[in-house]
Amino acid sequence: MPGGRRGPSRQQLSRSALPSLQTLVGGGLSNGTGLRCRTSSSVGVSAPPLTALITPEPVRHCRIPDLPLDSKLLFESLLFLYLLVALFVQYINIYRTLWWSSYNQSTASTSLNFHLMDVHLVIFITVMLARRLVWTIISEASQSSPVSLVQYVLLIVVRLSLLTLCGWVLCWTLLNLFNEYSVLNLLFLGYPFGVYVPLCCFHHEGRVPPPPSDCGFSEQDASDGALIRPKDFLTLLRENLREQFTSPAHIPTHSCPPSPELIRSEIEDLKSDFNRRIKEVLFNSLFSAYYVAFLPLCFVKSTQYYDMRWSCEHLIMVWINAFVMLMSQLLPPTYCDLLHRSAAHLGRWQRLEHGSYSNALQHIWSDSTIWPQGVLVRHSRCLYKAVGPYNVALPSDVSHARFYFLFHKPLRMLNLLIGIESSVVVYQLYSLLRSERWNHTLSLGLILFCNYYVLFKLLRDRIVLGKAYSYPLSGAAGLGLKSQ
């Protein structure tokens, strides 16, 4: 009506009645969040924290069954047996003869040129390959508590006798090799240790192991544990050499930390433990391949002919098989599941290009906030997007992104090992079909028999874990699922 009281228009009503986005998600002085508008101006309005308005979905973990794992003694025995078979195969490739020929030669009466083999070198290599098995036997015997004083004294005597025997055999073989070969040949005997000391002993991560309790440590204890404690060279050398003789027995536990600081502290401990295991796997696999397949080639006489290509191929196969065997033992399914659970709580950030998402809400990253999926944050003048359901990782930390990439899928490491071992088996079967020499057929048959056992265990774990992880996470607790 003309002259009547005019009410607010629809546009004015919508602007005054509805709260602004700055009020909902805005400045957040408590957690450092902010809103970037189209004009690139940051508005800092006091508001509830982002996690109070957008609650991330809870991380759900699958409970996997307890798969059988070989004991230390059994695994070291199988590994030592495999390396002995590989060493025997390499000597067949080097010192084979034409024993089926019709020539009446003394060298052709046997299948191998035994008179050209150096017995002292074979004994030295065997003792070096048995170092982990001997140390495991001593460790297992030491863990069993003796009942009486006689058993305790007997245990000490057996340990000293075994170590003395191994040391005496090594010294005896070294003296005989020193009298027969030059100094250059003798340098090949200890080359792996000469490379290991500068590469591994001087690079030592100073973090202490995680505490055994689930969540019973404070943030102050976690920060104190991150300090680097200096150690002298002999201590580092002794600790690193002890790691090469025996497999790590302690597996860290995942405690589902409630705060981002504790999550990142747990990730640092797991990264240190994982790097230590990978370092042990790489060194022992290269060590085994060196002494099994490469060292016998260094002591071959210049007049002796052998197939170089086949010997080098055998060297690569031994290294790959030893690598897979050590990886499957030192990274069991329970350990990979532990890393997967921690990666689910860590999350990952995807870096975006400048100018993208210019009209979307952008916040300033805070280390005390659990960011939900899809949130855009700014950190160190870069724009990042949250990828995981939980995101507490440092956006600019490449190691956090690498950790999430490796372990956010629980079967990635197992699938990688299966792919490597399957490729080796298929290639060896193809080589077996095309082989025309008796030593090739014998060597491939012996090595394939060992590879079948490793591939069987990997496929068994893959089938069981694939079914365990295939259950929907929203299922009932009777299906073996747990929500954290």
Tell me what pLDDT residue 43 has: 40
Phi, psi (deg, nearest 5) at residue 379: -145, 125
pLDDT for residue 44 is more than 70: no
Averaged pLDDT, 123-129: 93
Dmax over Cα atoms in the chain, in whole Å? 132
Tell me what pLDDT residue 21 has: 34
pLDDT bucket at 301, cuts 50 / 70 / 90: confident
Tell me what pLDDT residue 339 has: 92
Q: Rounded CA gap, 379 and 364, in Å?
A: 7
Q: Going by DSSP bridges, is the β-strand pair 382-386/376-379 parallel, antiparallel, or unpaired?
A: antiparallel
CA-nearest of 326, 275, 322 to 70 is: 326
Cβ contact 390:257 at 8 Å? no
For residue 484, give the DSSP letter. Answer: -
Tell me what pLDDT residue 36 has: 44
pLDDT for residue 479 is more than 80: no
pLDDT for residue 292 is more than 80: yes
Tell me what pLDDT residue 52 has: 44
pLDDT for residue 13 is more than 60: no
CB neighbours of residue 441 within 10 Å: 13
For residue 116, give the DSSP letter. Answer: G
- Tell me the per-residue pLDDT of 265-287, one tens digit each, with 9 for 90 and over: 889 989 989 998 998 899 899 99
Q: Rounded CA gap, 425 and 119, in Å?
A: 32
CA-nearest of 317, 309, 318 to 291 is: 318
CA-nearest of 294, 295, 310, 308 to 443 is: 310
Tell me what pLDDT residue 216 has: 36
Q: Rounded CA gap, 319 and 110, in Å?
A: 30
Tell me what pLDDT residue 250 has: 61
E strands, 302-446, are 349-352, 363-364, 376-379, 382-386
Averaged pLDDT, 285-304: 89
pLDDT bucket at 45, cuts 50 / 70 / 90: very low
pLDDT for residue 319 is more than 60: yes
- Tell me the per-residue pLDDT of 67-91, one tens digit each, with 9 for 90 and over: 888 889 999 999 999 999 999 999 9
Bridge partners of residue 383, in order along the sequence: 352, 378
For residue 147, give the DSSP letter. Answer: S
> N- to C-terminal Cα distance for the chain?
63
pLDDT for residue 31 is more than 50: no
Region of poorest pLDDT, from 67-76, 225-234, 416-425? 225-234
What is the average pLDDT score of the chain? 76
pLDDT for residue 197 is more than 70: no
- Tell me the per-residue pLDDT of 79-125, one tens digit each, with 9 for 90 and over: 999 999 999 999 988 888 765 554 545 545 677 778 888 899 999 99
Tell me what pLDDT residue 158 has: 82
CA-nearest of 243, 78, 166, 169 to 86 is: 78
pLDDT for residue 237 is more than 50: yes
User: What's CA 270's distance to the chain center, in Å?
Assistant: 10
CA distances to 91, 234, 346 from 245, rounded to whole Å, are 26, 17, 33
Q: What percent of the chain has pLDDT over 90?
A: 28
Q: Choose between 144 and 330: higher pLDDT.
A: 330
Q: Which two tokens stand for residue 336?
A: 């990979």
